[in-house]
Amino acid sequence: MSEPRVLLEISDLKKHYPVRSGILRRAVGTVHAVDGVSFTVGVGETLGLVGESGCGKSTVARSILRLIEPTGGSIRLNGKDITHLGKAELRPNRRSMQIIFQDPFASLNPRMTAGDIVGEPLSVHGLAAGRKKRERVAELFQQVGLRADQMHNYPHQFSGGQRQRICIARALALGPDLIVCDEPVSALDVSIQAQVINLLIDLQRKHHFSYLFIAHDLAVVAHISHRVAVMYLGRVVELADKAELFGNPRHPYTQALLASVPVADPKAKRLAPMIEGDVPSPINPPSGCAFHTRCKYVMERCKLERPPLVAIDGQHQVACFLNGGTGRPA
Ligand code: SF4
């Protein structure tokens, strides 16, 4: 199968925050929230981004959407560098990129009807008004599995799953090329999660847009993604096709993450040890390989040098010195 055309290209993306202290608020350190992340997302593709809390997944998402300003690196959308565009220049590109947040209730204005919320982007971008707008909103409601007569209801009159459907309809309104989903089902009941995930998959098949899908639940990521990137302490440590990553994980961190997924069979053998300890602070990240403080295969070299993310087998990339840079012990 030929590879999809690249829609989004992230190169060496960095987001650092100064840590300030004292009356003069002097900078006393730096939080390395995102520290040199590179990946691409193809047209019609879903890239899953996984990792423990605090690894920088959401900061990557917000930097891509320019909701926060990156410290370094570049973001190219449809071949255009949007990293440093001003507000006015960024505006047309904003139509191409939308986001769905984790908490649908917090991301919906409680004083607006669902119809006004979904129709707002159409008004802001001057795309539709009056009857045309109402018809478009009704069509969007129908696409996400809501009834057109629910347009007049307020967010509190919907269930959690329905509220997330409103957020999805709002994200669809402008016909985006890319939708960033930041933990979109984490706040929902398990029974509702599958419905929302399947809706996202159906919509992608129909409209052929791309997703950057952020989640900590590996089962959810495995279900929706085409490729998966694993992040640890602000960096991507492994990136591969979904089947390859879940079937043949090479980085010790990926192996530990997969081994920590609960299995229903108590007699089932685990392939790798559970991960131990907490993620180190991004204010003072460990030298060399950031995972070396938790890695059972750590070598002297790992404490001194940062392993680069390199392709080891086709599209499979890993950042680990083990076994000649291919990950996994020989
Ligand atoms: Fe472990 Fe070293 Fe590989 Fe890092 S580079 S994951 S410390 S073996």
Domain that holds residue 137: 104-175
DSSP calls for 157-208: GS-HHHHHHHHHHHHHTT--SEEEEESTTTTS-HHHHHHHHHHHHHHHHHH-
Q: Is the CB of 322 under 6 A from ligand 1?
A: yes
Best residue for ligand 1 mutational test, from 232, 253, 275, 291 (most atoms within 8 Å of Cβ): 291
Least confident of 20-29, 122-131, 297-306: 20-29
Calpha distance 173→171 (Å, rounded): 6
Residue 236 lies in a domain: no
The token pair that represents 248 in the structure block = 């043949």
Residue 131 lies in a domain: yes
Can you tell me which atom of ligand 1 is nearest the CA of 327? 3
- For the stretch 90-123, pLDDT in tens is 888 888 999 999 887 788 999 999 999 999 999 9
What's residue 311's pLDDT?
94
pLDDT band at 263 (very low <50, low <70, confident <90, very high): low
In the predicted structure, residue 1 carries a pLDDT above the cut 60: no
> What residue type is 51 in one-letter code?
G
Residue 137 lies in a domain: yes
**Residue 57 dihedral angles phi and psi, to the nearest 5°:** -60, -50
Q: Is the CB of 39 under 6 A from ligand 1?
A: no
How far apart are the CA of 164 and the centre of ligand 1, in A? 39
Residue 122 lies in a domain: yes
How far apart are the CA of 291 and the centre of ligand 1, in A? 6
| pTM, entire model | 0.91
In the predicted structure, residue 330 carries a pLDDT above the cut 70: no
Q: Is the CB of 178 under 6 A from ligand 1?
A: no
How far apart are the CA of 51 and the centre of ligand 1, in A? 16
Can you tell me which atom of ligand 1 is nearest the CA of 307? 5
Can you tell me which atom of ligand 1 is nearest the CA of 301? 2
Can you tell me which atom of ligand 1 is nearest the CA of 292? 7
Residue 164 lies in a domain: yes
Tally of domains in the chain = 1
Residue 139 lies in a domain: yes
User: 16 by DSSP, 3-state: which?
Assistant: strand
How far apart are the CA of 323 and the centre of ligand 1, in A? 10
- Looking at ligand 1, which residue's alpha carbon is closest to its atom 5? 320
Strand order in the sheet with 26-42: 26-42, 6-21, 72-77, 80-81
Best residue for ligand 1 mutational test, from 294, 300, 301, 322 (most atoms within 8 Å of Cβ): 322
- For the stretch 170-180, pLDDT in tens is 999 999 999 99
| Helix or strand holding residue 122 (H, E) | helix 114-124
